[in-house]
């Protein structure tokens, strides 16, 4: 058994508010295709399943069909543009650093399990000044599996040197919560992220409205170990 407990975080909508930069890149792609831009306000439900799904949802919002071959090309275009613009306006959610400090002092280690590609995830977390806090940063392309496949989470835990029996997931969407449940990992849902359904309706083990509540939520779950 690992000598430390592990908290695994989703990235977009969980650790950081990345919607402004994701939607800005999406709107560049949509504009090239003659489609109207998507407003950042209310676009949260478009985000959470990765860049390819974001492009597809942008086309759905513009009521235009997107052929698979075109989807592949636009996905590559999205990644290229986003790589140069991934931290223009993105910010950590309030209280993230303080929550990490509190949990680290209690012996917890951390990892990231996200459907953002790994290179972008590492660059973003580096730009936000927190990349060194994570024992593993695993993206959509790190393994042969990605969320909601539970192996994305269990392999992230393995890469971080953790133990599934002493791990907790933190996420903002049905993708995160379904992944954690499929892996039999307890999950904390944050209510301020990117989801088309209220997080409490998705029935995480605990729901929190701010990062100040995370250490208490983690302690409540860990007390059952």
Domain of 55, in residue numbers: 19-83
In a domain? residue 1: no
Rounded distance between C-alpha atoms, residue 30 and residue 52, angstroms: 13
Q: Sorting pLDDT into bands at 50, 70 and 90, what band is 48?
A: low
Q: Is residue 209 part of a domain?
A: yes
183 falls within a domain: yes
Q: Which of 46, 66, 83 is the last residue of a domain?
A: 83
Residues 101 and 27 in one domain: no
57, 61, 62, 68 alpha-carbon torsion, rounded to 10°? 20
H helix or E strand, kind and range, residue 21: helix 19-32
Residue 10 annotated to the active site: yes
* DSSP codes joined into one string, 38-72: PPSTT-GGG-SS-HHHHHHHHHHHTT----HHHHH
Q: Tens of pLDDT along 68-121?
A: 888 999 999 999 999 999 999 999 999 999 999 999 999 999 999 999 999 999
For residue 49, is it within any domain?
Answer: yes
**69 lies in the same domain as 102:** no
pLDDT value, residue 61: 84
**Mean pLDDT across the chain, nearest whole number?**
94
Give the number of other Cβ atoms within 10 Å of residue 120's Cβ.
21
On whether the CB atoms of residues 50 and 140 are closer than 8 A, the answer is: yes
Same domain, 134 and 204: yes
Are 193 and 96 within one domain?
yes
Q: Are residues 73 and 117 in the same domain?
A: no
Q: Is the separation of the CB atoms in 196 and 179 below 8 Å?
A: no
The pairing of beta strand 16-17 with beta strand 91-92: antiparallel
Q: How far apart are CA 68 and CA 101, in angstroms?
A: 44
Cα 206 from Cα 189, distance rounded (Å) = 6
Give the integer Cα–Cα distance in Å for 91 and 96: 10
Do residues 85 and 21 touch, judged by C-beta distance below 8 A? Answer: yes
Question: Has residue 2 got a pLDDT over 60?
Answer: no
- pLDDT value for 1: 44
In this structure, are residues 29 and 78 in contact, taking their beta carbons and an 8 Å threshold? yes
Give the pairing type, strands 136-138 and 167-171: unpaired
User: Does residue 24 lie in a domain region?
Assistant: yes
- E strand spans, 116-185: 136-138, 167-171
Residue 149 has what DSSP assignment? S
Domain co-membership, 23 together with 13: no
Report residue 179 as tokens.
């992944």
The residue annotated as part of the active site, out of 10, 12, 17, 172, is 10
Q: What is the mean pLDDT of residues 144-157?
A: 97
Name the domain boundary from 67, 83, 99. Answer: 83
Model pTM score: 0.93
Same domain, 107 and 194: yes
Q: Is the dihedral of CA 67, 70, 72, 75 positive or negative?
A: negative
| Domain-located, residue 150 | yes
How many structural domains comprise the chain? Answer: 2
């Amino acid at each position: 058994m690992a000598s430390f407990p592990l908290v695994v975080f989703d990235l977009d909508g969980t650790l950081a508010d990345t919607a402004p930069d994701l939607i800005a890149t999406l709107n560049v792609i949509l504009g090239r295709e003659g489609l109207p831009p998507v407003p950042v306000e209310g676009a949260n439900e478009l985000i959470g399943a990765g860049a390819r799904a974001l492009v597809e949802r942008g086309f759905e919002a513009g009521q235009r069909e997107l052929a698979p071959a075109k989807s592949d090309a636009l996905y590559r275009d999205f990644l290229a543009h986003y790589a140069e613009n991934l931290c223009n306006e993105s910010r950590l959610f309030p209280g993230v650093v303080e929550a990490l400090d509190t949990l680290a002092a209690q012996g917890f280690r951390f990892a990231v399990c996200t459907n953002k590609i790994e290179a972008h995830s590492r660059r973003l977390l580096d730009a936000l000044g927190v990349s060194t806090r994570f024992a593993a940063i695993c993206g959509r392309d790190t393994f042969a599996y990605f969320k909601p496949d539970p192996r994305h989470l269990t392999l992230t835990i393995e890469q971080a040197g953790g133990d599934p029996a002493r791990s907790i997931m933190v996420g903002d969407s049905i993708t995160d919560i379904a992944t954690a449940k499929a892996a039999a990992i307890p999950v904390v849902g944050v209510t301020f992220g990117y989801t088309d359904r209220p997080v409490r309706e998705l029935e995480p083990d605990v729901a929190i409205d701010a990062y100040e509540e995370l250490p208490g939520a983690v302690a409540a779950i860990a007390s059952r170990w």
